[in-house]
Amino acid sequence: MDKKDLLLSTAAVVLLKRLGHRRIQQKMEEARRARDLALERMEKAARRFKQENPGTQTAHILSLTMVELAEKLKEGSLSPESVLYSYMGKALEVNREVNCVIDFIHGCEDQLQKVKQQKEKGLLYGIPVSIKDHIDCKGHVSSAGLVKFLGQVKEEDSVIVQVLKSQGAIPFVKTNIPQTMINYDCSNLIFGQTLNPLNHQKTPGGSSGGEGALIAGGGSLLGIGSDVAGSIRLPSSFCGLCGLKPTGFRISKLGVISPITGMNSVIGMLGPIARDVDSLALCMKALLCEEMFRLDPTVPPIPFDEEVYTSSKPLRIGYYEEDGYFQPSPSMKRAVQQTRKLLQEAGHTIVPFAPPKIDYMVDELFTRGIFSDGAAHLVDSFKGDIVDPNLKSQFNTYKLPALVKRILAIILKPIYPRIARDLSALCGVGSAKNLWDQHAAVAVYRTEFIAKWRKQKLDVILCPVLGPAFNHGYAGKLFAATSYTNLYNVLNFPAGVVPVSTVTRADEEELKHYRGHYEDPWDKRLKEAVEGAVGLPVAVQCVALPWQEELCLRFMKEVENLSRGMRRNA
């Protein structure tokens, strides 16, 4: 090939790239236009109702808890219309402030009429529900923040949306997520960055960040999120909400898209996010019904056990203040210490518990498991797309050839051993034989963990959850900081988050002396990520054994009740 041919060939490649880039931008612009039109339609509907019903007690409706609202709807003292349109108006208001809503589920007005005609009022009769982007709703797109999914309008609702509707709920908006959802910020190049309504300099967390922002801002009572490393629990922690990650397969996942479909080493789940624990319990009670078991026979037909949830029997609670992988921020540690003290004073038995081999769990079971293909599926999902800046740090590492990752791991091992182990784990397993071995290792670890739990005769565990809310741009550089939450995805245990306090000036002062366990760049970043959070919520994590969601919620309720005074005095 002569010089002229080479120049022509290079020019052709550049032209094709530009054309491809332009096509991507056009698809994104079309998606944004579709969102804007949907929100205009939503605004018109909310305005029309307000004009026709000037006496609607919007402020009163928005002030009620979900359980109070459900009771008033059932007895008829509030109409489903007044509730739906009040929340539509509030959701639009919150969205203007923090950019959390990506679509109006226009079928909600038809659902409203169907709900009014139902002979039996379901447990969620008239309750508006927000839905995370990647959960299918008929007539809408599930984008995962990726261009490749745009234009794929879903022909039917996911099972969870069908069940919510059968219980009288009214799904009314879809909410924003980070690109690919393998991140706990909340930004993508299609719909932009979602802000934390409590502090716009902070992320709401992710990947169910749109849900966290909308509910914390008062624009929804109940949201459905998903969680494969903490994606329900982290937005709940960052936004001061309650969230539950159930045991895998307790709730149907049919009709949900993911860029890592087929990955079975770490269990992802759908679950509820709300303002209080009773709302989560009511949602779980509604979902665990015959309709769910009929629509998805792979879900075990275990209805909600009300007796366990309402029990007042003293609990034997294991606790730990840190996991040894990431040193907790001062407020994270204080939250566990103060909650432990309150539980002890309330008559519960508290015993120290040390989760075994956390470094091994994070590197070999979580990271090597979720990226068992060397992150190939995730990298492939970016074909015909542009990487969001908040994901660039992660993506650039994922796309490195395995050999380069291994060489870097060897070089970094003496200086930054934790980062070196992470790079090695990102190479994946390498073969089907090794994947079997990896699955076996997860099973062995789970057995060891349960044996330790049983030996200490525990009912539940109290432990930290990552927080407070991060400054923008840090989540993508600290994916391994999900160690406190991803442990329970590896184990497949139900785990929930409850806000118990707020960051104090003393916490912020103590943070200045934060060094971390490894004193590596990750520790430095974590300190920077949580700075400037005085007054923001701090939460704890509550954990139970598999299939014991009711016990987990009962423990969360106890923590919520006991910490009310702590939140007031913080």
Is 425 assigned to a binding site? no
Decide if 524 contacts 324 (C-beta within 8 A).
Answer: no
The verdict on whether residue 166 carries a ligand-binding annotation is: no
Q: What is the dihedral of CA 252, 257, 261, 267, to 10 degrees?
A: -40
Q: Provide the 8-state DSSP code for 530.
A: T
228 assigned ligand-binding residue? yes
Using DSSP's 3-state secondary structure scheme, residue 49 falls into helix
225 marked ligand binding residue? no
DSSP letter for each residue of 351-385: EE---S-HHHIIIIIIIHHHTTTTTHHHHHTTTTS
Which one of the listed residues 130, 166, 207, 372 is annotated catalytic?
207
Determine contact, residues 214/222, Cβ cutoff 8 Å.
no
Cβ atoms of residues 234 and 482 within 8 Å? yes
Q: Is 181 annotated as a binding residue?
A: yes
229 is an annotated ligand-binding site residue: yes
Of the residues 86, 143, 208, 231, only one is catalytic, namely: 231
What is the rounded CA–CA span in Å between residue 390 and residue 123? 40
Kind plus residue range of the DSSP H or E element containing 224: strand 222-227
CA distances to 122, 212, 225, 322, 514 from 499, rounded to whole Å, are: 29, 13, 18, 18, 23
Tokens of 157: 């609702």
Beta bridge partners, 462, equal: 319, 542
Residues in contact with 52: Cβ distance below 8 Å, sequence separation at least 6, in sequence order: none
Closest to 202 measured CA to CA, from 173, 230, 234: 234
Phi and psi dihedrals of 102, rounded to 5? Answer: -110, -10
Catalytic residue among 121, 132, 285, 405: 132
Nearest CA among 250, 286, 296 for reference residue 120: 286
Q: What is the CA radius of gyration of the chain?
A: 23
Residue among 145, 373, 331, 174 at smallest CA distance from 237: 331
* CB 535 within 8 Å of CB 568: no
Nearest to 241 by CA among 271, 268, 211: 211
Q: Return the beta strands (E) in 521-565 as ranges.
A: 537-543
Q: Any alpha helices (H) in 217-312, and if so which ranges? A: 233-239, 277-287, 290-295, 306-310
Backbone angles phi, psi at 499, to 5 degrees: -70, 135
Is 207 known to be catalytic? yes
Q: What residues are paired with 104 via a beta bridge?
A: 173
Contacts of 60 (CB under 8 A, 6+ apart): none
Known binding-site residues for substrate equal 181, 207, 228-231
Known binding-site residues equal 181, 207, 228-231
Catalytic residue numbers, as ranges: 132, 207, 231
